[in-house]
Structure 1
Amino acid sequence: MSHKLFLLPGDGIGPEIMNEVKLIIDWMNSNVDVTFECDEGLVGGCAYDAHGVAISEEDMAKAITSDAVIFGAVGGPKWADVAYEARPEAGLLRLRKDLGLFANLRPALCYPALAESSALKRELVEGLDILIVRELTGGVYFGEPKEIVTLENGEQRAVDTQIYTTSEIKRIARVAFELAKTRSNRVASAEKHNVMRSGVLWKQVVSKIAAEEYPGTPLEHVLADNCAMQLVRNPKQYDVIVCDNLFGDILSDVAAMLTGSLGMLPSASLGAPDVVTGKRKAMYEPVHGSAPDIAGKGAANPIAMIASFSMALRYSFEMIKEAEMVDTAIANVLEKGLRTGDIAKAGDTVVSTKEMGAAVIAELNALK
């Protein structure tokens, strides 16, 4: 069986961590009865330097026809002054929008070996396993009008519009409830119905979906700001958290620090199933950014990027056994005390990006 991957390393540490994923792909091609065919393109600042846009039409076409996009990171101070429409992040937003990637899955898993690296006490995070399901193509990031205008009195006014429809809320709620059934079967819905009309509709629709379609799954409503507080107070009370685009962005970053580092968090962005094939458009990326301050130094943590590819194996290709092998390999490396600088503490062995990737490969060889 053959699958088409489109790799978009991007900027900063993106190419470095993508190199380690390429090794995992090569290992799969050599050790598993499957072939991953890889093509590579430009996105973000590097695409702007080459084409004057954050992603070219040619590379967008490749992304659309691929079985999965593997994405690194974009942005950096070099492109701070480019036009808003051409900023590096515009490439990421276009991929999400044009591929219809409405469901963003962001797991926050605390590996036992990293419990001491968390910002919280060990007893609060040991065994932590949360999944944040973020709506990704609606809300304030995409709503119109989105503008800065000059008023008659000379003042400027900025407008970002939060918009959600019933159907958009229904489809992300169903994703959350379906995933909950494969886990501990609990859903918390985070919004701000006390001050936002979009939050009122969100709560109504999610409640209706729960009552009519998933009566066996407990549903909790929580205000998004309280959810952020609860994540640092008692995070293990949650299993699946479903939320809109803005709150999902914020809450998943809060959850990241529970695990020890942003460098540990993968993500999957999924579209709706094709009516004929049942396949979904998908993109997989680490939650962290391009980290330009450490780019080129071999200090980046590739685990989130590698774990994102593991999510691709699981959600796009139904290669559950192989995904579990990658996840186990990561856990075994951490149990042996190997750390990149972002997750290291006294007594740990600090390794480079390449050394961490090689250690994961070594564990995969031991597991096969």
Structure 2
Amino acid sequence: MSKKILVLPGDGIGPEIVNEAVKLLDVLRSRHGLDAELTQGLLGGCAVDATGKPLPDETLSAAREADAILLGAVGGPQYDKLDRPLRPERGLLAIRSELELFGNLRPAILYPQLASASSLKPEVVSGLDIMIVRELTGGIYFGQPRGIEQADGERRGYNTLAYKESEIERIGRLAFETARKRDGRLCSVDKANVLEVSELWREVMERLHAEYPDVELSHMYVDNAAMQLVRAPKQFDVMVTTNMFGDILSDCAAMLTGSIGMLPSASLDRHSKGMYEPIHGSAPDIAGQGLANPLATILSVAMMLRYSLDEPALADRVEAAVGRVLDQGLRTGDIHTEGTRRVGTAEMGEAVIAALAE
């Protein structure tokens, strides 16, 4: 039965990088047996421009019917002065919440060809392979009450950080299952020395551990975790943490690999339906110039093939093709170093398609 893929190019460099991923999907469909139908929709700033809403009803309806969603990026400085409910990022938060995409998988893998592109010494990052499991639909980004109010003669801003046991348990199970399929080590990151919500988080993780005795569980405060990611990142296998902490730590881990432009992500519900996107932003400073790195989006397609479309062999093939292109010395500007050949978005995408046939 044909799978349905909803493509949401979004804003900034989103259309450029997604275009290369769609070309790849078309080749997988025409030459490699992928049975899938692609449709496109609007999300983010482009949706605001066209419909007045960052998440149009038509997009949400199509997303509910899709087996998987491929997203580019949302946002841009031209939208910063809009009322908060109309900002592009609200559309992204809303689609995650409406589809209950609670589990965000963010791998931080250093391709050996890019060891010199990392800001850390090669011996510190060589062989790096971390999976950060981020809770995505709860915590301070969604907590109520929130707002800005007038109090005692000045404005006061406030947000609420809250998690229910059930929310912690479902992300914990995903993290333990992920660790079980890898090296069997899980580090839960919290701030239990300060936050009551983190005390509950830690209690639930400890309770779940009894069901996964084959997984080694450790705990770490978030400030120490940030330091350890820079000091000795290879000590980690799988990390699980809250929405805000995961947002910050995954970007930190991304730079260990040489470029945030290399890393994909998957946001999953309970039934392996997912939204797949590069973890970088819309990069408005280079939008429309053909300079953006499409590899994170292409690798997001690989994650889609593996987690939502049940095509692990094709996922392996796509990832191997990216490795071959890096072996050829092709680099976009964000990962370019002396001795390699600098290419643009389209040429990098075409090179991956060519390598796919090898």
TM-score range, shorter chain: over 0.9
- Deviation, 1:78, is 1.2
Using the TM superposition, give the Cα deviation of residue 281 of structure 1 relative to its aligned residue in structure 2, in angstroms: 2.7
CA distance in 2 between counterparts of 1:23 and 1:156 reads 50
AA matched with 1:146: R
Query: In the alignment, which residue of structure 2 is the partner of 1:276?
Result: none
Paired residues for 1:1-368 under 5 Å: 1-151=1-151, 153-210=152-209, 212-273=210-271, 280-366=272-358
Contact 1:68 1:312 in 2 (8 A): yes
Distance 1:101 1:58 in 2: 19
- Following superposition, the deviation at residue 339 of structure 1 comes to 0.1
8 Å Cα contact 1:286-1:305 kept in structure 2: yes
Amino acid aligned to 1:231: L
Deviation of the 1:32 alpha carbon: 2.4
- Contact 1:100 1:281 survives alignment (8 Å): no
Gaps of 5+ in 1: 274-279
- The residue identity in structure 2 corresponding to 1:243 is T
Number of residue pairs matched by the alignment: 358
Amino acid in the other structure paired with 1:170: E
1:60-86 Cα deviation digits (max 9, x unpaired): 100111011100001111111111001
Say which SS state the counterpart of residue 159 (structure 2) adopts: strand
Give unpaired runs (5+ residues) of structure 2. Answer: none
- CA distance in 2: counterparts of 1:187 and 1:331, whole angstroms: 27
Q: Secondary structure at the match of 1:145?
A: coil
Note if contact 1:9-1:42 (Cα within 8 Å) is conserved in structure 2. Answer: yes
Q: In the aligned structure 2, how far is the partner of 1:162 from the partner of 1:325?
A: 41
Distance 1:206 1:234 in 2: 24
Q: Shift in Å at residue 34 of structure 1?
A: 2.9
Q: Tell me, in whole angstroms, the C-alpha distance in 1 between the residues paired with 2:112 and 2:26.
A: 29
Normalised to the residue count of structure 1, the TM-score between the two structures is 0.96
Q: Report the Cα distance in structure 1 between the residues aligned to 2:32 and 2:351, rounded to whole angstroms.
A: 19
Large movers: runs of 4+ above 4 Å: none
1:33 & 1:7 partners in 2: Cα distance? 19
- CA–CA distance in structure 1, aligned partners of residues 328 and 262 of structure 2: 16
Q: Work out whether residues 180 and 214 of structure 2, in 8 Å CA contact, stay in contact via their aligned partners in 1.
A: no
Q: Give yes or no for contact 2:10–2:73 (8 Å, CA) kept in 1.
A: yes
Match of 1:161, SS? coil
* Structure 1 counterpart SS, 2:213: coil
Q: Is the 8 A contact 2:70 2:275 kept in 1?
A: yes
Tell me the SS of whatever aligns to 2:224.
helix
Q: Output the amino acid matched with 1:199.
A: S
Q: Return the alpha-carbon distance in structure 2 between the equivalents of residues 317 and 42 of structure 1.
A: 22
Could you list the per-position Cα deviations for residues 202-246 of structure 1 after superposition, in whole angstroms to 9, with x for gaps in the alignment?
Answer: 011001101x20011110100011000000000000000000000
Counterpart secondary structure, 1:288? coil
Task: Please give the root-mean-square deviation of Cα atoms over the aligned residues, in Å.
Answer: 0.7
Local SS of the residue matching 2:178: helix
